[in-house]
Chains A and B, each alone.
Chain A
Amino acid sequence: MAKHETPLLDELEKGPWPSFVTDIKRQAEKSPQCWDILGQLELSFKERITHWKHGGIVGVFGYGGGIVGRYSDVPKRFPGVEHFHTIRLAQPASKYYSTKHLRDICGLWEKYGSGMTNMHGSTGDIIMLGCRTEALEPFFYELTHNFQQDLGGSGSNLRTPANCLGQSRCEWACYDTEEACHHLTMHYQDEIHRPAFPYKFKFKFSGCPNDCVAAIARSDVAVIGTWRDNIRIDQAAVKEYIAGNIPSNGGAHAGRDWGKFDIQKEVIDLCPTECMWMEGGELKIDDSECTRCMHCLNVMPRALRPGADQGATICCGAKAPILDGAQFATLIVPFMKVSADNEFEELIEFIEKVWDWWMEVGKNRERVGETMQRIGLPTFIKVMDLEPIPQHVKEPRSNPYVFWSEDEVEGGWSRDVDEFRARHAA
């Protein structure tokens, strides 16, 4: 039986879609503190202001992350949400669980918290919503000792790394995203659990440019699978697609009749770099122009595969709009071998170079993408010991400006200009 009148929230149950209000009401039958979430939210809707306070010294001993403090500023009216802390649990690589493990985790959360979860949060972690300060340590003890699971990242820490399911299920994966994600998670335990940086830092791993974990939009270091050689073409399968014997897009659009497959219209004309054509009944690709957009591979997976010389592209500096606007990551390294054979040495060296620079020059609460923007890409490229390449420039053909440094110019900045002008009028 509802504890508070919630006429405004009840409106949100009327549509045909699932409603969080219905979900919370259902959970409140088991965990009565959930009624107070609804009560406080109704008050916020009415008054158009939040009644949550954040922050504080909540945490478990030795950890400086994984728990986000939340308190009500109207605890007398809503005692069930006086403390309502969020706990982040690190998800396993690719989010593979047994159903038993998920049931166990949910059971544990009903024992110590509200039972409400967010599976998974945009960070990647499992989000456990709502518990009191005194429940944190016993919950953490059981989580780690009985279920071998750990807290995720929060605050100015390395956040829980995330990856696409990669080679475990996907034929497009150009490196082992699970191994990379797991290895770096173990390697950087200290950075995940204890604050290390001016602000949050994320890396995410996608096996190919389809970028199923949206690494390019969400991570400070995005590791996105790619290939250096040519797209592998099976010309016999191309003919089968043209003849309509293999459904395009793996049959994904089979729910409606789109007419006969037209390779010109559906593939060649949609290639963003216009680098494909038919010649003598065969599909041709000028691979030097291909930007790995994945469109043609997605449409004809049985005819086209990524090349065999595989690795990853590294992009830096994505972030959501907190201070300035949102921004995508910028290409920094077009191709890097990413391999467990050398324990991801090259990638680790890259990441630590970024950290050393950002920790030194980054301002408090500044993401590395903002630091890059403030100081400029030329400096960042230099700090990373890389040579500038046309791909670092947004429009290299219309923006040819080069900034020379003194040691690159004959005579430096102090050469005798009058002497030069005497020979060569301005």
Chain B
Amino acid sequence: MMEKAKEKSEQNHKPKGTDEHVIVIKGLKKSFGEKHVLKDINLEVKRSENVVILGRSGTGKSVTIQCIVGLLKPDSGSLKVFGDEVADMSEKELKQLRIKIGFLFQSGALYDSMTIRENLEFPLTRILKIKEQAEIDKRVEAALDSVGLLDSIDKLPSDLSGGMRKRAGLARTIVVNPEIILYDEPTTGLDPITSREISELILSIQKKYNTTSIIITHDMECARLASDRVVVMDDGEYIAEGTFDSLHKSKNKIVAAFFKDIL
């Protein structure tokens, strides 16, 4: 108990430089029943860094980022965001944290009883509690414009294609200008041209707002464009880490498999 309190006070005095680690994960474990999904995850993400996670389907990439926002509780290990342990947070603290984190769901997870406009207004009015309609409209339109969906603003999610829904989900994530964005497969199911636009959008958000991001993807083009650093995950552990170009030369079989089509 004493140690913990001391640790906390030390962190509060630490100056917030650019080298500060926003997300620190140590020895994270998570199982569902008998199934050990995360075995030993260690990851540190610096402020305004884009980290790409590569890994085969079902290795626990989505589970990892769901632990970061407290949707899933890890079994053991430490997971700190902005220096505070997520598992120890009260409901209120967790809510405060979640306001700072944007989360793009793999499925988009649009509210299907609301139009696209209402989907984007929801976090603005309910969470940021913005009152002026002009301000709301401006932000909603800007976010939709950046994903190229301004025309569909008054449509229902069911009237959109899969790719459009994904982009609308992305617009809803960025409309609140979060400090951290967790992208779960932002370009899957999109055509190469839109994929590239989304990857460039991710990069430009990082540059413009200094956001810290974790990007889960299978799209190597997206990884190349948007990443400062790439980690490769297999069977609940991280097996390789480095810049895109350094991993490109890796001899590891699984890593090489991801990079084999890249010239």
Partners in one complex: no
